[in-house]
Amino acid sequence: MPGSELFGAEERKEVQDVLETGVLFRYNHDAQRKGHWKTREFEAALAKFNGVQYAHACSSGSTAVAIAMAACGLGAGDEVIVPAFTYIATIEGALLGGALPVFAEIDDTLCLSVEGIRKAITPKTKAVVLVHMCGSMANIEEIVALCKEKNLVLLEDTAQALGASYKGRAAGTFGKVGCFSFDFFKIITCGEGGGVITNDKALYHLIDQFSDHGHDHVGDNRGMEAHPIIGFNYRIGEMNSAVGLAQIRKIDYILQQQRKHKKAMKAALAKFPQVKFRQIPDENGDSATFMDFFLPDEATTRKVVAALKAEGVANLTGIQYWYDNNYHYIRNWEHLKALKSPAKMPIHLLEKPQDYNNLDLPITENLMSRLISLVVKVAWTDEQLKELTTKIEKALTSALG
Ligand SMILES: *Cc1c(COP(=O)(O)O)cnc(C)c1O
């Protein structure tokens, strides 16, 4: 998965450009910057790669979600449908923006299901925050149709899905807005960084303004720029964008390597009839960051996780049993269920849409208890890949008999 495996001379060169001028700020200072506009170039590359009109880089994937929510007009008291399997930032973004998260069921795509969304809709529902988990996409066509039918905003959290697509169209371009993360663990990294993409010009201007205290970014006197809306500081800096720029130029290579490596891992796992693979609506559009598979039940799944560890697979790659993870699945989110926060949020003053302590999500619960994700790395040699697949097969043979 991580572009951080490929940090090298290209990243250092882009960072060096910025260090030479000392203009670490993304706006203004035209004369001093000697033509270096790393954030602008990074945004242009992000827009081009995804085939969209507008891309705006920001400080993180979490702030990308917050910016997108605000720009789409989602705020105090608005119900937004979210999955219980995501990175917790999706939910935090909704809560801190004043919205009320409503948890709905996923399916074996590991993303929200159309039936799950349909069941969670109430008269207060304003949006669906669709998270394309673990590098691949939801059943997007049906979800787009449902959002149109019900007049709901579709916001795509594509933090984990740069490079994923459906019938040639990039994840993050099906809804009103798409949000990326470039933290240290994502497909490409800026160290810390995020991005928001859209084809909607008016929305793009709101995104651009909201992420920088409402600045309209017209003219060359920052202190005299107009401020059409209230915003906040969600800016990315030039150093981070410089790394992102070098990284996005490597995305085709990253995807090609991941797809090759995942294919070998899948072939090893496919020898075991107990293994079922995650549904991928368009296999050609899999960014292949994770090798996701299900076992028949929780006990068997735990046995397989233990066997993979015993075989030494953890020394070669990440083994994720998300069911036990403290940040990706709601089961261990005690703080969230209790809405513990240092300061009052709108949800504390409003009627809660669901009892978060007693959510009824049997399909999600069942899928999560049986899911294992193995990280697909970029820089493995053929020998390392062979060693890995041999160990996977040994582990499954010992666990499944
Ligand atoms: C990583 C991630 C985020 C947050 O990104 P950061 O850059 O770490 O703030 C949001 N949503 C999902 C689904 C993620 O995986």
Closest ligand 1 atom to residue 133 Cα is 13
What pLDDT, on a 0 to 100 scale, did the predictor assign at position 118?
98
Token output for 47? 């827009």
Token output for 312? 């030494």
Q: Which residue among 90, 96, 192 is best mutated to probe the pocket of ligand 1, counting the most ligand atoms within 8 A of its Cβ? A: 90
Token output for 82? 């979210």
Q: At what angle do helices 61-71 and 201-210 cross, to 10 degrees?
A: 120
For ligand 1, whether the C-beta of 61 sits within 6 Å is yes
Closest ligand 1 atom to residue 60 Cα is 7
For ligand 1, whether the C-beta of 189 sits within 6 Å is no
Q: Give distance in angstroms: CA of 367 to centre of ligand 1.
A: 22
Closest ligand 1 atom to residue 185 Cα is 1
Residue type, 153: V
Which residue is listed with tokens 């666990």? 399
- The CATH number of the structural domain formed by 3-250 is 3.40.640.10
Per-residue pLDDT of the chain in tens (401 residues, 90 and over written 9): 588 999 999 999 999 999 999 999 999 999 999 999 999 999 999 999 999 999 999 999 999 999 999 999 999 999 999 999 999 999 999 999 999 999 999 999 999 999 999 999 999 999 999 999 999 999 999 999 999 999 999 999 999 999 999 999 999 999 999 999 999 999 999 999 999 999 999 999 999 999 999 999 999 899 999 999 999 999 999 999 999 999 999 999 999 999 999 999 999 999 999 999 999 999 999 999 999 999 999 999 999 999 999 999 999 999 999 999 999 999 999 999 999 999 999 999 999 999 999 999 999 999 999 999 999 999 999 999 999 999 999 999 999 98
Instruction: Mark 81-93 as b/e (b = at least 16 C-beta within 10 Å).
Output: bbbbbbbbbbbbb
> Hey, is 23 helix, strand or coil?
coil
What pLDDT, on a 0 to 100 scale, did the predictor assign at position 53?
98
CATH 3.40.640.10-classified regions of the chain? 3-250
* CA pair distance 305, 320, nearest whole angstrom: 9
Q: Give distance in angstroms: CA of 119 to centre of ligand 1.
A: 26
CATH H-level superfamily of 252-400: Aspartate Aminotransferase, domain 1 (3.90.1150.10)
For ligand 1, whether the C-beta of 84 sits within 6 Å is no
| pTM metric for this prediction | 0.97
Please tell me what DSSP assigns to residue 237: P
CATH 3.90.1150.10-classified regions of the chain? 252-400
User: Within a 10 A sphere around the Cβ of 221, how many other Cβ atoms?
Assistant: 8
* CA pair distance 349, 339, nearest whole angstrom: 12
Q: Give distance in angstroms: CA of 260 to centre of ligand 1.
A: 25
Q: Give distance in angstroms: CA of 61 to centre of ligand 1.
A: 5
Closest ligand 1 atom to residue 181 Cα is 7
What pLDDT, on a 0 to 100 scale, did the predictor assign at position 1?
58
* CA pair distance 391, 4, nearest whole angstrom: 25
For ligand 1, whether the C-beta of 163 sits within 6 Å is no
Token output for 119? 């069941």
